[in-house]
Amino acid sequence: MKGEGINDLKKYLSTGKSLKVCILDNNSVEFLTWVRKSISPEKIFSQYDMILIPQWVLTEVCVVIAKIEKVT
């Protein structure tokens, strides 16, 4: 369910079944960049039914990446 709209998200959450949801913040994303060579993302995220990344986190990460690319 990648990039679906809010209505699709509401339908998915209201199915009545128990879901494991992971919500990433900027600190989680930073931590994951440090450990990605030691622990695969698949191993970390395979236990979740849904992974949510708020728009503000995505925006912040993109800004940081752009700054790094500009410097290098």
**At residue 23, does pLDDT exceed 90?**
yes
Instruction: State which residues form the domain around 16.
Output: 6-71
Determine the pLDDT at residue 2: 58
The structural domain count of the chain equals 1
Evaluate whether residue 14 is within a structural domain. Answer: yes
Q: What is the 3-state secondary structure (H, E, C) of 15-67?
A: CCCCCCEEECCHHHHHHHHHHCCCCCHHHHHCCCCEEECCHHHHHHHHHHHHH
Evaluate whether residue 1 is within a structural domain. Answer: no
Tokens, residue 47: 């236990």
Evaluate whether residue 28 is within a structural domain. Answer: yes
Any idea which of 2-11, 46-55, 56-65 has the lowest mean pLDDT?
Answer: 2-11
Evaluate whether residue 25 is within a structural domain. Answer: yes
Determine the pLDDT at residue 20: 92
